[in-house]
A = this chain, B = another copy of it.
Amino acid sequence: MLELAILGLLQEAPMHGYELRKELATKLGTLRAAISYGTLYPTLKRLKLAGWIGEAEMTETSDIIPPMTSKRGRVVYKITAEGKERFADLLTQTGPETYDDTGFGVHFTFFSRTDRATRLRILEGRRRRVEERREGLREVLARAADRLDAYTLELQRHGLDACEREVRWLEELITNERSGQTPGRSRFGPAGAQPAATPAAGSETPPEQPRPHLDRP
């Protein structure tokens, strides 16, 4: 999961570890706590070993990363061509872990780079997951309420409330996805859903502006 997040961030710009973590914290700060260095650096090592990312010493001439001032031995990571392919694959691949809090948060963060069919699949999968949780909570509150103490019950109620709220939120997003037309790419392949090797990875993937009609008062 973290692999997808790192690849996605490095596709925006090359970064070193410290900055990567900050970016991770702000972008995934909703359904996910800040990532630990004890996770980040081993993962970077793994990605580098797999060939998805490359490593480059920071030189004085490189001003790719403006906010940083130090010019010591920082290691700047950069996504490779294979890494971009890998990222595209991971974007469309969905497993059970796609629908838990962390996985959903990461995927959602990159929705502007995800095709509409996958977006809908993920939103509906997440909705299903949260609905199952909601039903479980309703079951407990209806059937085993007398077996639980007042505090536990209150916790279940709060959890149920959060589930219902998220389902409504997801419904709204799904409705918007279905109604809002995206230019160009949504035209081909009505059924689709078959993960053919994503083409057009070579030429700067036009991100297909979502315009998800997410207004607020």
* Chain A positions near chain B (C-beta within 8 angstroms): 26-27, 29-31, 33, 100, 105, 108-109, 111-112, 133, 136-137, 140, 144, 147-159, 161-162, 165-166, 169, 173, 182-184, 210-214, 216-217
Contacts and interface: CB of A to CB of B under 8 A. Distances in A.
B137 A213 contact: no
A60 to B, nearest CB: 26
| Copies of this subunit | 2
Nearest to A147: B217
5 contacts: A29-B136, A111-B149, A149-B211, A154-B183, A154-B184
A212 B112 CA distance: 46
A169 B159 CA distance: 11
Contact of A150 (B29, B112, B161): B112
A202 to B, nearest CB: 22
Contact of A140 (B26, B144, B149): B26
Nearest to A133: B29
Contacts of A155: 30-31, 105, 108-109
A15 to B, nearest CB: 14
A153 B27 CA distance: 9
A135 to B, nearest CB: 11
